[in-house]
């Protein structure tokens, strides 16, 4: 079963950190702001570094791969594969 959690809002993130700063614990603050503890710990470094401004923008969780193949090299590899189908591993 897949559980979907909606994205937190900026106001929700601010509220979370306001609750954490009051006497109490993280679990209670997370319940009050309706976010998971993992969400709190994901936002905490941004809050500690940049304050409220660190909570403004969401950032992608996608892996950013700087090691992409040059388009010219990719084109040439495809061209060679078509010219020599018996080279290398057979693709089904």
pLDDT tens by residue, 30-43: 888 888 899 889 88
Query: Which residues, in sequence order, are CB contacts of 28 under 8 Å at separation 6+?
Result: 19
Other residues' Cβ atoms within 10 Å of the Cβ of residue 55: 20
Query: Which residues, in sequence order, are CB contacts of 26 under 8 Å at separation 6+?
Result: 20, 37, 40
Would you place residue 3 in the very low, low, confident or very high pLDDT band (cuts 50, 70, 90)?
A: very low
Is the separation of the CB atoms in 29 and 21 below 8 Å?
A: no
| pLDDT in the model for residue 91 | 61
């Amino acid at each position: 079963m897949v559980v979907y959690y909606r994205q937190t809002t900026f106001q929700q993130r601010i509220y979370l950190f306001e609750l954490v700063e009051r006497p109490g614990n993280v679990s209670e603050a997370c319940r009050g702001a309706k976010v998971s503890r993992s969400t709190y710990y994901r936002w905490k470094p941004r809050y500690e570094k940049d304050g409220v401004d660190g909570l403004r923008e969401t950032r992608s969780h996608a892996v950013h791969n700087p090691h992409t193949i040059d388009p010219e090299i990719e084109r040439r590899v495809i061209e060679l594969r078509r010219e020599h189908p018996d080279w290398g591993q057979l693709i089904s």
